[in-house]
Structure 1
Amino acid sequence: MTKDLYARHRSVLPDWLALYYEDPLEITHGEGRHVWDSAGNKYLDFFGGILTTMTAHALPEVTKAVSEQAGRIIHSSTLYLNRPMVELAERIAHVSGIPDARVFFTTSGTEANDTALLLATAHRRSNTILAMRNSYHGRSFSSVGITGNRGWSPTSLSPLQTLYVHGGVRTRGPYAHLDDRDFIDACVADLLDLLGHTRPPAALIAEPVQGVGGFTSPPDGLYAAFREVLHERGILWIADEVQTGWGRTGDHFWGWQAHGRSGPPDIVTFAKGIGNGMSVGGVIARAEIMNCLDANSISTFGGTQVTMAAGLANLNHLLEHDLQGNARRVGGLLIERLRAVAAQVPHVREVRGRGLMIGVELTRPGTDEAAPEVASAVLEEARAGGLLVGKGGGHSTSVLRIAPPMSLTVAEAEEGAAILERALRSI
């Protein structure tokens, strides 16, 4: 049955629409931190639909909210007052940390970043954007134009002039040998030099933890140091929180807060986890910036009632059950467990991450040379053992990406670590 579905997939969908595994997997249902495939096999899910199933599969509060709202009205567009959209916007504005915040809802992280770029370039009257090397911001024409990861940027054509800045990857590149303070100083010096050679940019867009890039991050404080330079010149700071938001990093509710001594970003984008699988994205910005557009605009599907009901129920559940604290506690245990395993596996270059965003970078033993074929083999072995993980990385897809639902238990973390240990040792 799966082979027949795969053949049908290939006959009607694009060749570039990637699938995991030599024998692709059809997931039919899920509950909690587990999913089942069409053959009845059960898996512990350590990837959550690419960090989208944030709280749990089939979370009762979310499924109930969706069902009840669908029984009333599913959609009306933003041309009409929408109570669930207003209520979720109020909650998000309150937790954003941005003064006088306005919230605009979209259907995805790509569209959220697209909107942030529109706001920044219109507000600053500049089409120059600073972005980080190894970054990923979506698959639209403008967002691939600011993506600093060759594997996810299929064209060099872009409506924007993009300049790439050092700093998103701590353990690779020309400054990797420096200590944290000197690393930050070198990246700031590079930024200052870059700004001396270009017309004033509209904004810097940055993921606090680079997702597709392999869960890499700079030392805490880098973006605060960047912000001081940018603020002096009126350049905006956009924090792409599509993967890092809502407490997933454990230590902070937003990833930018690890760099927050100079205050919140001018613009924050979000998506993925807030809808727990429903299609929700959005932008938060100061009213001055959000209201700078001088033409009419709407969103046909952004903020639709059923997705807003899901997002509100999901956010309430996350806050009431302190899933940020759980991500910090269980994620810390999982990282330490995986580091103990990695010390005995020559292919593992580094285990890194925060909370329940963990990357395991694989290289050829004794070198920094990426080993994507090893990552693929571990992915297959983990599946055979009953565990689903993701992969990514800047130089190639040689980083295992581990991001379970944030309600992960200690017992499930231990179970997943044991399966991953067997998969890593098998190589």
Structure 2
Amino acid sequence: MSKDLLARTRAVLPSWLAIYYEDPIEIERGEGRRVWDTDGQSYLDFFGGILTTMTEHALPEVTKAIAEQAGRIIHSSTLYLNTPMVELAEQIATVSDIPDAKVFLTTSGTEANDTALLLASSLRRSNQILAMRNSYHGRSFSTVAITGNRSWTPTTLSPFQVFYVHGGQRYRSPFAHLPDGEFIAACVADLKEVLDQTGDVAALIAEPIQGVGGFTSPPDGLYGAFAEVLRERGILWIADEVQTGWGRTGDHFWGWQAHGATPDIVTFAKGVGNGLSMGGVIAPAEIMDSLGANSISTFGGSPITSAGALANLRYMLDHRLQANAARQGPPLFEGLRAIGSPIIGEVRGKGLMIGVDIVRPGTTEPDAAAATAVLEAAKRHGVLIGKGGLHGNVLRIAPPLTLTADEAAEGLQALVASIEEVTP
């Protein structure tokens, strides 16, 4: 069945669509933190469709909201008033921690980052953008252009002039040997040097924790230090919270809150929709209202996705899932670090956002083949995880935020067995 579907997939869909596993699976259904394939095999889902199933599969509150809205109307566009869209935007503005916040809803994180770049470049009248090395911001023409990861950039053509700065990842940074304060100082010096050689930059876009880049991050406070430099020059700071938002890091609701300064623009997606196609941009009214042309969104903020996302966000807030991420994450970190395998270079991240950097024993040299082997072994042991990093050697572990202590222990046991199976 799966082999036939794989052949049909390859025949009709682009060859550049990545598919996991030597023997790919079709996920037929999900419930809670578990999914089942078409052969009836059960798996603990520790990746959530790329950090998208934020709460849990088949969350009753979300499915009910979708069904009720679908029974009324599914689509209307932003040309008409839309109560679910406004209620969701109001809720997001309330939790945003952005002053005088306005919200524009999109269909994806890519589109959200596209919109943020449009706002910044239009307001600043500049196509110069600062981005972080090792970053990822989407698959559109503009977001591929600013992505600092060669694995995801198929073209050198660009609507922007992009300058990449240090700080987004530490493990393989030339400043890796420095303590936190000196690391931040070195990255700030690099930023200043880059700015001294550019024109009027529009914005810096940065993920507080780099998702596709392998869950890498700087010390807390780096982007706050960057913000001081940027604001002296009128440059906007865009925080890409597509993967870090909504309490996943445990310590904070938004990843940027670990850095002691407030961004000018925040983008989000993935988890808020719990699987629905939902993203958006948050900015103060002064910035959000600055576009000098008409615009609409055909699908952004549709009644059905807004109703489902609102139910999901309210569930997350009512059940304090940020606190659960802070509670369930540490045992996973501790258990993975305790393995002591020579193929583990680093275990990093925050909350329920965990990266395991797989290396050749005795070195920091990335080992993508070993990471793929662990991914396959984890599947055999009944756990689905992700893979990323510049070199494709980082295991990405991001369970739904309703994860229980028993499920965390079960998943950890499977991950330990998988890593030990691959360790020479």
Normalising by structure 2, report the TM-score.
0.99
Q: Which runs of 5+ in 1 are unaligned?
A: none
Runs ≥4 residues deviating over 2 A? none
What's 2:150 paired with?
150
Q: 1:271-420, aligned counterparts within 5 Å?
A: 271-341=269-339, 343=340, 345-394=341-390, 396-420=391-415
What's 2:417 paired with?
422
What's 2:209 paired with?
209
- In the alignment, the residues of structure 2 paired with residue 389 and residue 17 of structure 1 have an alpha-carbon distance, to the nearest angstrom, of 18
Aligned to 2:102, what secondary structure does the other structure show?
strand
What's 2:19 paired with?
19
- In the alignment, the residues of structure 2 paired with residue 425 and residue 2 of structure 1 have an alpha-carbon distance, to the nearest angstrom, of 28
- In the alignment, the residues of structure 2 paired with residue 210 and residue 200 of structure 1 have an alpha-carbon distance, to the nearest angstrom, of 26
Q: 1:207-246, aligned counterparts within 5 Å?
A: 207-246=207-246
Shift of 1:154: 1.0
Q: 1:254-273, aligned counterparts within 5 Å?
A: 254-260=254-260, 262=261, 264-273=262-271
Q: Deviations over 1:366-409 (max 9, x none)?
A: 11111000011001111011000000012x11000000000000
Aligned to 1:285, what secondary structure does the other structure show?
strand
- In the alignment, the residues of structure 1 paired with residue 8 and residue 386 of structure 2 have an alpha-carbon distance, to the nearest angstrom, of 24
Shift of 1:136: 0.2
What's 1:134 paired with?
134
- Name the amino acid aligned to 2:181: R
- In the alignment, the residues of structure 1 paired with residue 170 and residue 223 of structure 2 have an alpha-carbon distance, to the nearest angstrom, of 13
Q: Deviations over 1:97-147 (max 9, x none)?
A: 111111000000000000000000000000000000000000000000000
Q: Deviations over 1:316-348 (max 9, x none)?
A: 00000000000000011111111112x2x1100
Shift of 1:180: 0.5
- Name the amino acid aligned to 1:198: T
Task: State the percentage of identical aligned residues.
Answer: 71
- In the alignment, the residues of structure 2 paired with residue 5 and residue 194 of structure 1 have an alpha-carbon distance, to the nearest angstrom, of 49
- In the alignment, the residues of structure 2 paired with residue 200 and residue 367 of structure 1 have an alpha-carbon distance, to the nearest angstrom, of 41
RMSD of the TM alignment (CA)?
A: 0.5
Q: Which runs of 5+ in 2 are unaligned?
A: none
- Name the amino acid aligned to 2:168: G
Shift of 1:186: 0.4
Normalising by structure 1, report the TM-score.
0.98
Aligned to 1:359, what secondary structure does the other structure show?
strand
- In the alignment, the residues of structure 1 paired with residue 154 and residue 355 of structure 2 have an alpha-carbon distance, to the nearest angstrom, of 24
Shift of 1:156: 1.1
- In the alignment, the residues of structure 2 paired with residue 200 and residue 374 of structure 1 have an alpha-carbon distance, to the nearest angstrom, of 44
- In the alignment, the residues of structure 2 paired with residue 180 and residue 153 of structure 1 have an alpha-carbon distance, to the nearest angstrom, of 31
- In the alignment, the residues of structure 2 paired with residue 336 and residue 32 of structure 1 have an alpha-carbon distance, to the nearest angstrom, of 24
- Name the amino acid aligned to 1:336: E
Q: 1:62-81, aligned counterparts within 5 Å?
A: 62-81=62-81
Shift of 1:314: 0.3
Shift of 1:174: 1.1
What's 1:174 paired with?
174
- Name the amino acid aligned to 1:216: T
Aligned to 2:146, what secondary structure does the other structure show?
coil
Q: Deviations over 1:74-100 (max 9, x none)?
A: 110000000000001001111111111
- In the alignment, the residues of structure 2 paired with residue 174 and residue 380 of structure 1 have an alpha-carbon distance, to the nearest angstrom, of 32
The answer as to 2:104 corresponding to 1:104 is: yes
Which region of structure 1 is more displaced relative to structure 2, 202-211 or 172-181? 172-181
- In the alignment, the residues of structure 2 paired with residue 111 and residue 403 of structure 1 have an alpha-carbon distance, to the nearest angstrom, of 23
Q: Deviations over 1:32-69 (max 9, x none)?
A: 00000010000000000000000000000000000000
Shift of 1:148: 0.3
